[in-house]
Structure 1
Amino acid sequence: MPQLNPNPWFFIMLISWFTYSMIIQPKLLSHISMNPPSNKLQTAQSTSPWTWPWT
């Protein structure tokens, strides 16, 4: 059963994770976000009760 032989697949997995973590991830994280989060203070909104027409 060739799918149980980890010899070629383990090496492929290690190389792909190395590529992702050392090459692709720093390039993705270096981009500046176009919509940075704002530091607005959360204000409590005042709500008024709904007057139902059938009550």
Structure 2
Amino acid sequence: MPQLNPAPWFPIMLLTWFTFSLLIQPKLLTFTTTNPPLNKNIPTKPTPWTWPWA
């Protein structure tokens, strides 16, 4: 079964992984997000949920 032979696919996978990690990823990490996350004030104690059958 040719699917189990890793000889042609392993170097292709390594080349793709190195290309992504060394060339593409640093370029993607330099982009800034359009909507940066905000620090929201989380209430200290949430209100309990009243169950109708309790």
Q: 1:40 to 1:3 in 2, by over 3 A?
A: closer
| Identity between Structure 1 and Structure 2 (%) | 62
**Segments of 4+ in structure 1 off by > 4 A?**
none
What is the distance in 1 between the residues matched to 2:10 and 2:35?
Answer: 39
Q: Which structure 1 segments of 5+ residues have no match?
A: 48-55
Higher Rg? 1
Q: Which structure 2 segments of 5+ residues have no match?
A: 48-54
What residue in structure 1 maps to residue 15 of structure 2? Answer: 15
TM-score, L = length of structure 1: 0.64
What is the distance in 1 between the residues matched to 2:41 and 2:2?
Answer: 59
What is the distance in 2 between the residues matched to 1:43 and 1:2?
Answer: 58
Residue identity in the other structure for 2:33: S
What is the distance in 2 between the residues matched to 1:10 and 1:31?
Answer: 31
What pairs with 1:39-50 in structure 2 (closer than 5 Å)? 39-43=39-43
Aligned length: 45
Residue 36 of structure 1 pairs with residue 31 of structure 2: no
